[in-house]
């Protein structure tokens, strides 16, 4: 029997598959319903689960959110085009994550804001701060958030078309109903609790699937997989240094520039978005740090290899796009791309496991969508409606507005998803929109001179540059640019613009700066004039000036990055059968872990 006929045989869901999926949906709905009463009390409960969540629940929730249905599609797209080394475009964000862990997590928790956008009126002064907060609420909570959810829905469309034979509209409709229900009922508490359940299902399903797929007769196990001609040249962890056309965009730029100067959801420089939401929901600063540390280790070190193995195996079964088109003639041509190979590989799974894996993908989809729905509606409610529409709105009214906005966000995301074609396309657009803004989010805690005009300028210019490069540059007849070249130009122009705006505009008032410093106690680096003025006027006392352990925190950040990469590559070398490099990675991981334990004790004390 041929490979394709085997595939067609196995893609039919059996009764046990449907039972597994149905049980999954029921458990998810029950969790949402059980959380509804407590989450509906007020906005602090609905959006921050009462600020009483432990680190392990928050950490798992963040990992579950970033394990979205489009993530394995994106990884598959990258590997089929650029090999394993192409993943540096997102592996580099580990530096951003660890910077958040050791420098920013405590600062966010100390701020005690309801959303990270509330930060603007805590840090900046005047009407411009309020305008910035309101605009960002709609820009991020609505426009940007819808864009992100649309990419996740796109992955759902591809999974539904290949594995269930559903049309794009049917997939969007069916997948949205349950997600909106439990998100609007249970609030963040319901999201976090379902994330914990969904993440367990997702990891079990994808690991089991990877084992089965690698051991298919057509693949032949790990040894045959790694030695197959179609996989040759795809296994290196670092691009060839002699090939600058690959090395520059896939390795040097992500590690040298991208991680600290590009805003991307889940990897915001200085923290932010749903990561900040989880930190703000933590019991205390220690739990906020623990949650983000767990998240970054699990996200970058423990999770990628099942996706990688399935992506490599897809090169054997579906070596090109024509093979995918032949196998799935009923799938719409506009969604046939390399990222579709991931869903295509899952159709080889036997009954029972197919249902579990499909449930795991639905779990990944729902955990991401539910987080973004709750996060986006928190902006709409707290930073737009309550701030500008009805300042005296009752808590019950605000919760209801949150539930209505959840539904509207879902509908808009579904409409946009129908216009997208592949995950990597959306990933590059989001990177370009955030190019040049990341440095502001890092420095605004440590440089008093940054003001609201800095952020407004960066936001507007980065968006204009992204729109220009995506839709206008080539049509105007200019020399065609690669994605990494567009990114660099966007960063340079945006950074220059917001620096000019910073020095050309009036700084934030000293009263606001001193109030912010006393509230969050950032390192005194970059706050010299404010501290000096505060001491002279009596607004600050010597005991309120925190020297901190800034150098130690930065050292911990880089050691934690070594820990993650050593685990990631050590796992790969073990799978390759290269025991020498495996042991070297183990030694680096153990020594890094011991250092972090000692630093953790010192910083905690």
pLDDT tens profile 261-307? 877 777 788 888 888 888 888 988 889 999 999 999 999 998 899 99
- Are 182 and 12 contacting, i.e. CB atoms less than 8 angstroms apart? no
Tell whether the model's pLDDT for residue 3 goes beyond 60. no
Tell me the three state secondary structure of residue 244.
Answer: helix
Q: What is the pLDDT of residues 549-563, one digit of tens each?
A: 788 888 999 999 999
CA separation for the pair 290, 601 (Å, rounded):
12
pLDDT on residue 362: 79
Q: What is the pLDDT of residues 475-530, one digit of tens each?
A: 777 778 887 888 888 889 999 999 999 999 999 999 999 999 989 888 888 888 99
Average pLDDT, the chain: 85
Q: What is the pLDDT of residues 167-207, one digit of tens each?
A: 778 888 877 787 787 777 777 787 888 888 878 888 888 89
pLDDT category, 445, cuts 50, 70, 90? very high
3-state secondary structure 183-229: HHHHHHHHHHHHHHHHHHHHHHHHHHHHHHHHCCCCCCHHHHHHHCC
CA separation for the pair 1, 6 (Å, rounded):
7
Beta-carbon contacts of residue 384 (< 8 Å; ≥ 6 apart): 134, 137, 138, 141
Of 519, 40, 93, 518, nearest to 272 (Cα)? 93
The neighbour count for residue 322, using CB atoms within 10 Å, is 10
Q: What is the pLDDT of residues 213-258, one digit of tens each?
A: 999 999 999 999 999 999 988 999 998 888 888 888 889 999 988 8
pLDDT on residue 66: 80
- Are 113 and 119 contacting, i.e. CB atoms less than 8 angstroms apart? yes
Q: What is the pLDDT of residues 102-141, one digit of tens each?
A: 999 989 988 888 888 999 999 999 899 999 999 888 888 8
pLDDT on residue 426: 62
Tell whether the model's pLDDT for residue 87 goes beyond 70. yes
Beta-carbon contacts of residue 543 (< 8 Å; ≥ 6 apart): none
Tell me the three state secondary structure of residue 282.
Answer: strand
């Amino acid at each position: 029997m041929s490979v394709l006929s085997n595939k067609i045989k196995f893609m039919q869901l059996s009764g046990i598959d449907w039972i597994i999926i149905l049980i999954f949906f029921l458990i998810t709905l029950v969790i949402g319903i059980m959380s509804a009463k407590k989450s509906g009390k007020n906005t602090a409960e609905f959006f921050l689960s009462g600020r009483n969540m432990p680190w392990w629940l928050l950490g798992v929730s963040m990992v579950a959110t970033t394990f979205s249905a489009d993530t394995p599609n994106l990884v598959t797209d990258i590997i089929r085009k650029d090999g394993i080394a192409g993943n540096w475009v997102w592996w580099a964000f580990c530096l951003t994550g660890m910077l958040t862990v050791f420098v920013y997590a405590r600062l966010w928790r100390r701020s005690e804001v309801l959303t990270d956008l509330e930060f603007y009126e805590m840090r900046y002064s005047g009407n411009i701060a309020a305008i910035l907060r309101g605009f960002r609420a709609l820009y991020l909570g609505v426009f940007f958030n819808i864009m992100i959810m649309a990419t996740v829905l796109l992955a759902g469309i591809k999974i539904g078309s290949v594995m269930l034979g559903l049309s794009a509209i049917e997939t969007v409709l069916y997948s949205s109903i349950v997600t909106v229900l439990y998100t609007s009922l249970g609030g963040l508490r319901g999201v976090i609790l379902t994330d914990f359940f969904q993440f367990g299902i997702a990891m079990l399903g994808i690991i089991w699937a990877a084992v089965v797929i690698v051991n298919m007769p057509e693949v032949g196990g790990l040894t045959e997989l790694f030695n197959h001609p179609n996989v040759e040249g795809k296994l290196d962890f670092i691009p060839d240094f002699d090939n600058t056309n690959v090395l520059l965009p896939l390795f040097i730029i992500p590690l040298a520039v991208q991680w600290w100067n590009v805003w991307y959801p889940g990897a915001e420089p200085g923290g932010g978005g749903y990561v900040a939401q989880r930190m703000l929901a933590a019991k205390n600063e220690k739990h906020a740090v623990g949650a983000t540390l767990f998240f970054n280790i699990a996200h970058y070190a423990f999770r990628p290899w099942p996706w990688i193995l399935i992506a490599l195996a897809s090169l054997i079964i579906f070596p090109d796009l024509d093979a995918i088109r032949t196998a799935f003639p009923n799938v719409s041509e506009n969604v046939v791309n390399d990222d579709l190979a991931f869903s295509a590989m899952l159709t080889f799974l036997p009954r029972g496991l197919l249902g579990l894996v499909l449930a795991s993908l639905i779990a990944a989809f729902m955990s991401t969508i539910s987080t973004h729905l709750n996060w986006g509606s928190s902006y709409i409610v707290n930073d737009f409606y309550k701030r500008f529409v009805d300042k005296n709105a009752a808590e019950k009214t605000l919760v209801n507005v949150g539930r209505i906005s959840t539904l509207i966000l879902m509908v808009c995301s579904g409409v946009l998803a129908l216009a997208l074609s592949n995950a990597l396309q959306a990933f590059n657009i989001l990177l370009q929109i955030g190019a040049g803004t990341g440095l502001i989010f890092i420095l605004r805690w440590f440089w008093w001179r940054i003001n609201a005009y800095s952020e407004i300028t960066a936001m507007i210019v980065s968006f204009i540059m992204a729109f220009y490069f995506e839709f206008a540059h080539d049509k105007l007849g200019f020399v065609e640019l690669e994605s990494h070249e567009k990114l660099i130009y966007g960063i340079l122009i945006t950074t220059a613009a917001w620096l000019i705006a910073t020095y050309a505009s009036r700084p934030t008032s000293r009263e606001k700066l001193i109030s912010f410093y006393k509230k969050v106690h950032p390192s005194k680096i970059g706050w010299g004039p404010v501290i000096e003025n505060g001491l002279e006027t009596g607004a600050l006392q010597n005991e309120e000036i925190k020297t901190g352990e800034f150098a130690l925190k930065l050292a911990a950040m880089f050691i934690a990055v070594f820990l993650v990469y050593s685990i990631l590559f050590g796992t790969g070398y073990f799978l390759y059968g290269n025991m020498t490099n495996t042991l070297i990675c183990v030694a680096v991981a153990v020594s890094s872990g011991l250092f972090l334990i000692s630093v953790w004790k010192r910083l905690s004390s």
